[in-house]
Amino acid sequence: MTVPLAYAGGSERVESATRSRTVTRISGARSPHELAPLTDLRARNIRETFRCKLGYLTASTEIPFPARHNPPWLFGVLVLPYGFTSSVTVLLMPYLLRKYGVAVDHIANIMAIAILPTIWTFLWSPLADCGFRRRTWVIISAVGAALTAAAAILGIHGSAAVLTALLFLTNALTGLLSSSCGALLTAMPKSLRGRSAGWYQTGNVGAGAVGGGLVIWLADRASPPVVAAAVVLAMVLPALAAFLIDEPVPERRAIGAQMTALFTDLRGVFSSRRTWLGLVFFLSPVGTAAVGNLISGVGQDYRASGNEVAWVTGIVGGLLTAAGCYIGGLLADRMNRMVAYALAGAVTAVFGAYLALAPASPFTFGAGYLGYSVATGLAYAVYTALLLDVVGKGRRAAASAYSTLNATGNASIVYMVWLDGVGYKRWGVRGLMSTDAVANGGFAVVLLLVAAYAGHHWHHRGNEAALPEEA
């Protein structure tokens, strides 16, 4: 039907009027009293969103303790053989070899091979997930490592190839001890993982700091058999504390079924969003303490004496790092662990910046690195607590997952040591310290943002479904 022109024009006027009324309703005809609820709703939504993000940053892990659990301090004892092995390998053996006339380049070749297991431990860590209890593997590993270390000391005048093999085996065995301890740590309640990690790293760092000085002191005053006997006692006696560990008897299965379950469990760990989020933290420069690997070589840049370098980078620095580990463990149970890790990086950056910008004096060297040592301890403890959260509780492949993820943290140490070295080559000691400070400080900010905007994947315990989490 044809619409008359007059009616069409009227339709246009009607439609125009309708649009006008619609625009009037939408754009401003409402009174302030009508708009107030909408404004309040928007403000409430903004506040709730901010509160939610802030909650991820400030969420505490402190909840009531379960009735039954292993004491956190016990892990500080169990790890002593591991820390002491580091002292024997990188301090005592080079000292004895040099004392008996072995060239430095030959010592370097022996050490380079001897410490390889610290990187590749994850290849044999599945042993700790099969057969015996993990506490049994702790004792086996410690006794085996003690005997091979003693044999290396007694064979100091023998074949370099045999000596290298013995030291390699010593580190391989204590690597298995570390994986076993890591698996036992994952069984701790979530509310105690920070303290357990703090004690674990306190024992590790403390044994390395004190043990290194003691074995060299003893080597100057006693024969190799006496030194070897002391090393055996120092490594075996702490491992006997494993008998105090409360651990269920593992389920007996055929080896094929065990391996299938183990790899299924590992696949579950590495397909979890929490794992990939954790790798952002583990592979970052934060917590690498790369300066600690180079600090003894830059003492002369600060005009520090040999005695000051020895004390600051040795026993005093080591004990302060151990104290930082203990404090970091407490913090990791009382605040969001991702935030605590980022803050440890920020503190590290502060002392790195001080070493870079302050006058190059002995005081700067001592005060700056001792502060850096405490920050290192904070980061070590929180790093371990984060790693335990990623692995989760009730895993059959806990030792394998722990050692594999820990290898990623070691990889970040390697690239940061190299990067700090590049900084020194281009700009001297200030370049080294500035590179370390910028890397730690910059990534501390990045990790805080990650914690705020992706933290819900961490707080959802999807990868701990294997066993209900204890309170």
Whether residues 411 and 273 share a domain: the answer is yes
Whether residues 226 and 340 share a domain: the answer is no
Instruction: Please tell me the predicted confidence (pLDDT) of residue 37.
Output: 57
Whether residues 237 and 295 share a domain: the answer is no
Angle at 436 between CA 284 and CA 313, to 5 degrees: 110
Are 405 and 278 contacting, i.e. CB atoms less than 8 angstroms apart?
Answer: yes
- Over residues 361-380, the mean pLDDT reads 94
Are 301 and 429 contacting, i.e. CB atoms less than 8 angstroms apart?
Answer: yes
If one counts the domains in the chain, the total is: 2
Q: Is residue 231 part of a domain?
A: yes
**pLDDT single digits (tens) 308-348:** 888 888 889 889 999 999 999 999 999 889 999 999 999 99
Q: Say whether pLDDT at 140 is over 90.
A: yes
Calpha distance 311→228 (Å, rounded): 25
Whether residues 95 and 227 share a domain: the answer is yes
Per the structure block, which two tokens stand in for 282?
A: 């583990």
Whether residues 290 and 435 share a domain: the answer is yes
Phi, psi of 59 (to 5 degrees): -60, 130
- Over residues 259-273, the mean pLDDT reads 78
**pLDDT single digits (tens) 4-54:** 333 334 443 334 444 444 444 444 445 555 555 555 666 566 556 555 554
Closest CA to 146 of 235, 240, 82, 207: 235
Per the structure block, which two tokens stand in for 402?
A: 């722990």
Q: Is residue 220 part of a domain?
A: yes
Q: Is residue 28 part of a domain?
A: no
CATH, residue 199: 1.20.1250.20
Place of tokens 């006794």: 143
Q: Is residue 30 part of a domain?
A: no
Domain final residue pick, 184, 214, 246:
246
Per the structure block, which two tokens stand in for 245?
A: 């560990």
Domain around 443? 269-463
Q: Is residue 26 part of a domain?
A: no
> Could you tell me the pLDDT band of residue 380, with boundaries at 50, 70 and 90?
very high
Are 240 and 139 contacting, i.e. CB atoms less than 8 angstroms apart?
Answer: yes
Domain final residue pick, 246, 281, 316:
246
Q: Say whether pLDDT at 357 is over 90.
A: yes
Enter the pTM of the model. 0.78
Calpha distance 471→465 (Å, rounded): 15
Q: Beta-carbon neighbour count of residue 329 at 10 Å?
A: 31
Higher pLDDT, 31 or 463: 31
Give the lowest-confidence range in 254-258, 383-387, 413-417, 445-449.
Answer: 254-258
